Amino acid sequence: MSLRGQTNLPAELRHHWGIEDGGEIAFIDLGDAALVLPGGIARAEAELKSVLTERYNVGLVAIDDPDLAEQ
Is the separation of the CB atoms in 24 and 40 below 8 Å? yes
Kindly tell me if the per-residue pLDDT of 51 is higher than 70.
yes
What pLDDT shows up at residue 63? 77
Average pLDDT score over residue span 45-58: 89
Kindly tell me if the per-residue pLDDT of 7 is higher than 80.
yes
- Cα 66 from Cα 25, distance rounded (Å): 43
**Residue 38: CB atoms within 10 Å:** 17
